[in-house]
A = this chain, B = another copy of it.
Amino acid sequence: MTALPAELSDLIKAGPLVHLATINPDGSPQVSVIWIGIDGDQLVSGHLGRAVKVRNIERDPRVVLSFDTPREPGIFNTPYAVLRARATVAPSDQAWDLLDQLTKIYMSPDTEFPVPKRPGYIVRYAIERIGGMGPWA
C-alpha cells in the first residue's frame, strides 16, 4: 500500500469532487462522482444504498479515484491526481456519520447531512499507485 503525500492529503481535505471508476458486470467502465475522506493512509467513502458502484466493487475491487484542483487562469498545468486503489466494501452503522462529517467539508461546517440517519456501507480504498500531475506525481 502507498502512503498519502502531504500535498495530496491537503488537497483531499479541501473536498474535491472525486471521480470513482469501477467495472460493470459487462466489463465496461462505470464512473460515479463521490465525496471522499481520509482514514490514516486509506481513503474512505460512505454510501446509504447498495448502488451500482458498491456492487461493482464487491465483484471487482480494482478502482481508480481521480480529482483535480480548482483551475486558475494562466496556469497551464492544473494539478490533478489519479489514484489506482483496491477497494473493500463493509456494511456499517457509521456510514451516515462519515457522510455527515464529509458534509462539513463539502458543504459547510454547520450543515448536517440532509438524509435521515440509517445504516449503510463504508468503502475503504488502499492506494496502490499515485499518478496525475502535481507535487505527488
Which of A3-11, A69-77, A91-99 lies on the face that meets chain B? A69-77
- A contacts with B: majority SS: strand
Take A73-B108, A107-B76, A108-B74 as given contacts and tell me if A31 and B82 are in contact as well, using a CB distance cutoff of 8 Å.
Answer: yes
Write the A79-97 contact mask toward B (1 if CB under 8 angstroms, else 0): 0101010000000000000
Q: Which of B17, B28, B80, B107 contacts A80 (CB 8 A)?
A: B17
Specify which of A27, A28, A71, A132 lies most central, judged by the most chain B CB atoms within 10 Å of its CB: A28
Q: Is A30 an interface position by the 8 A CB rule?
A: yes
Q: Give the total of A residues in contact with B, Cβ under 8 Å.
A: 35
Q: Which residues of A are at the interface with B, using a C-beta cutoff of 8 A?
A: 15-17, 19, 21-23, 27-33, 60, 62-64, 66, 68, 70-71, 73-74, 76, 78, 80, 82, 84, 107-108, 111, 114, 132-133
